Structure 1
Amino acid sequence: MTDPAPPTVWARPRPEPRRRAPGVDRYVAAALAVADAEGLAAVSMRRVAGDVASGTATLYRYIANRDELVDLMVDAVRGEEPLPEPTRDWRTDLAAFATALRATLMRHPWLAGELAGRPSLGPNSLRRSESALRAAVALTPDITLASQALGTVHSYVLGSVATQQAARRAEQRTGLTEEQWQRSVGPYISEVLAAGEHPMLARRVHEGEEVDPDVEFAFGLDCVLDGLAARLPRPSGTS
């Protein structure tokens, strides 16, 4: 018989900080600073304890392991953006959910990988999920379809942000800005396109405009919402 799983971090009472000892919030803030600057892989219990001038044993008194620490980090950043005021217009409310999620992901590049796995069950995450589901239910009363619609929007945001963050990582890796990289590959691209084998790519390079990431995100989000509106039955009397 296997041992029962330990209670989740959210179900276990948290001890009060001893005099002059850092509390959970300070440990989480220190971990967030490391993750935002260096990536989630750089976060360790020893590193976080050291950054707040605390013994590792003291940290373990409040947080059982690194997985719990990451759970606390995720929920902390999910509480940064205020919950949007519901308008009862599903499109407006889902767009507000998507925009707030994107802002959080852009501030914390490590977060997308965590949100793509198991759902976060912290209080901030649950409040945000409840709010988003209420918006989706205004589109369709079927809770399963509403959940799928919300998942579609969620996946679009994750994918859009991942593309933008990949460009940032490439810039950090090569040391070249996007403009510098384009200049460096310009002669090669010009030679390839001059051969005439890629007319659509040639049009994109010579005629197309560079679109602001915010504008590009809004365009894609509109397409997703248009698709949901066309596919899902809505309650009678709604638009």
Structure 2
Amino acid sequence: MGERGAKPKRAPLSRERVVAAALALADEKGAAGVTMRAIAGQLGVEAMSLYNHVAGREDILNGMVDAVFAEIDLPAADTDWKQAMRARATAARAVLRRHPWAVGLLDSRRRPGPATLRHHNAVLGALRAGGFSVALAAHAFSVIDSYLYGFVLQESSLPFSNRAELDEVAGEILSELPAEAYPHLAELIADHALRPDYQYADEFDFGLELILDALHPDLA
């Protein structure tokens, strides 16, 4: 039997634990809150001990970005390109809603990790298998992600996160809005945003379908 009152053994420090702690910090405080000192505090170690497992903050950011890409489901190889792009964009949005700080970092890494490379290769592979040339696959990838990242940024800045909050915010604005001065805004809130079946997420699906319908493989 162990000695009474003995402290439980701490899990050994590793690159994976450092990155996981950094992810948790970023989810709570944003990417700016990820410092060596803060990560060390999260893990209960001295900041200098982190350098036995990572090269520095940039290396940690590389690992964080790769961890985010690892959470995004890869496009299925045997799926129609449009269905694959729709599923992948939907999955990516769900992941980025959990990690909104990541939007500005995803394509910023000079040393992308294995999950990042697998993700990009799978997206391009689905487009190429669907008849897109190399150049058009690049264009399609870029325009889809520009829309995806922009929507997530807009969504994360909204003053509501659920239906109850939307009703409260929209109701307050409508009650204080001079309808005669802003008739179109009043109409939008009353006849669209406050409909019982309205969900802001539907705006994402509408825009994504516009983009996918506008893309056509070279061999179509």
Distance, in Å, in 2 between the alignment partners of 1:182 and 1:206 is 8
Distance, in Å, in 2 between the alignment partners of 1:31 and 1:85 is 30
> Contact 1:21–1:54 at 8 Å: present in 2 too?
no
Q: Deviations over 1:45-100 (max 9, x none)?
A: 11111211222121012211111111101101211234242234110111122112
> Contact 2:36–2:57 at 8 Å: present in 1 too?
yes
Letter in 1 for 2:101: W
Letter in 2 for 1:220: G
What 5-or-longer segments of structure 2 have no aligned partner?
1-9
Against the structure 1 CA distance between its residues 58 and 119, is the aligned structure 2 distance closer, same or farther, given a 3 Å change threshold?
Answer: closer
Scaled by the length of structure 1, what TM-score is found? Answer: 0.77
Matched, 1:184 2:172: yes
- The equivalences for 1:74-93 within 5 A come to 74-93=65-84
> Contact 2:124–2:138 at 8 Å: present in 1 too?
yes
Structure 2 residue aligned with 1:221? 208
Against the structure 1 CA distance between its residues 85 and 120, is the aligned structure 2 distance closer, same or farther, given a 3 Å change threshold?
Answer: farther
Structure 2 residue aligned with 1:206? 190
How far residue 184 of structure 1 moved from its aligned partner, in angstroms, is: 2.9
How far residue 102 of structure 1 moved from its aligned partner, in angstroms, is: 0.7
Scaled by the length of structure 2, what TM-score is found? Answer: 0.83
Distance, in Å, in 1 between the alignment partners of 2:202 and 2:111 is 29
- The equivalences for 1:66-145 within 5 A come to 66-118=57-109, 121-145=112-136
Distance, in Å, in 1 between the alignment partners of 2:145 and 2:110 is 12
Letter in 2 for 1:214: A
> Contact 1:74–1:111 at 8 Å: present in 2 too?
yes
SS at match of 2:108: coil
Distance, in Å, in 2 between the alignment partners of 1:116 and 1:101 is 14
Matched, 1:39 2:30: yes
Q: Deviations over 1:85-135 (max 9, x none)?
A: 223411011112211211110111111111253566110000000000012
Letter in 1 for 2:202: V
Letter in 1 for 2:40: A
Distance, in Å, in 2 between the alignment partners of 1:119 and 1:160 is 25
Taking only aligned residues, the RMSD between alpha carbons, in angstroms, comes to 2.4
SS at match of 1:47: helix
- The equivalences for 1:51-70 within 5 A come to 51-70=42-61
SS at match of 1:114: coil
Distance, in Å, in 2 between the alignment partners of 1:140 and 1:118 is 29
| Range moving further from structure 2, 75-84 or 88-97 | 75-84
How far residue 180 of structure 1 moved from its aligned partner, in angstroms, is: 2.8
Distance, in Å, in 2 between the alignment partners of 1:141 and 1:171 is 39
